[in-house]
């Protein structure tokens, strides 16, 4: 039987910021097993963006950002990324998108320390991981070329 190390009451808030209202759609993930952080983020991203929205949208998750959660005041605030934070989030997204299991082990303690300030209470002020949606070149190319190729194939 494999024993997995668990950090005491770790948690992460994952959300997608609505551009029109500025209010995020978010989910709280608690008690993440070591080595299950990326899978938890993927599961939450699927909950925040149902399959039909992921398939029909020309946008996809292209990076991570940070916003601040103030649960006591029911308020969220975008955070400007500093010169040190931006490369770290880029590396975090790179490991997430490449499904790098070995690198995943170092991110859970980092999130607990920097996002939650080491606190295990999700009702206190914390930072949340924002899923950044951008135009997907692959989807635009596929959705743009498919009708043209079908018209050429059917037309001849």
Residues whose CB falls within 8 Å of the CB of residue 13, separated by 6 or more in sequence, listed in order = 26, 27, 28, 29, 69, 115, 122, 126, 127, 128, 129
- pLDDT at residue 40 tops 90: yes
Pairwise CA distance, residues 146 & 65, whole Å:
33
In a domain, 42, yes or no: yes
Q: How many domains does the chain have?
A: 1
Write down the pLDDT at residue 104.
86
In a domain, 21, yes or no: yes
- Quick: pLDDT tens for 76-98: 888 888 899 899 999 999 999 99
In a domain, 101, yes or no: yes
In a domain, 143, yes or no: yes
In a domain, 57, yes or no: yes
In a domain, 6, yes or no: no
Which of the two residues, 136 and 104, has the higher pLDDT score? 136
Q: What predicted TM-score, i.e. pTM, was given to this entire model?
A: 0.82
- Quick: pLDDT tens for 14-35: 999 888 888 889 998 888 888 8
Write down the pLDDT at residue 156.
64
Domain of 91?
Answer: 11-155
- pLDDT at residue 103 tops 70: yes
In a domain, 5, yes or no: no
In a domain, 58, yes or no: yes
Hunting for tokens 């975090």 — which residue is that?
92
């Amino acid at each position: 039987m494999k024993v997995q190390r668990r950090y005491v009451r770790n948690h992460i808030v994952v959300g997608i910021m609505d551009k029109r209202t500025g209010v995020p759609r978010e989910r709280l993930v608690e008690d993440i097993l070591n080595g299950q952080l990326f899978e938890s983020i993927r599961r939450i991203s699927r909950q925040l963006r149902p399959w039909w929205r992921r398939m029909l949208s020309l946008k996809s998750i292209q990076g991570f950002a940070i916003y601040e959660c103030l649960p006591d005041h029911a308020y969220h605030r975008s955070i400007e990324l500093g010169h040190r934070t931006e490369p770290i989030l880029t590396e975090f997204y790179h490991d997430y998108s490449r499904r790098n299991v070995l690198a995943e082990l170092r991110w859970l303690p980092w999130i607990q320390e920097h996002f939650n300030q080491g606190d295990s209470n999700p009702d206190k002020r914390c930072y949340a991981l924002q899923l950044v949606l951008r135009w997907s070149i692959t989807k635009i190319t596929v959705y743009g070329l498919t009708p043209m190729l079908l018209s050429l194939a059917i037309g001849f």
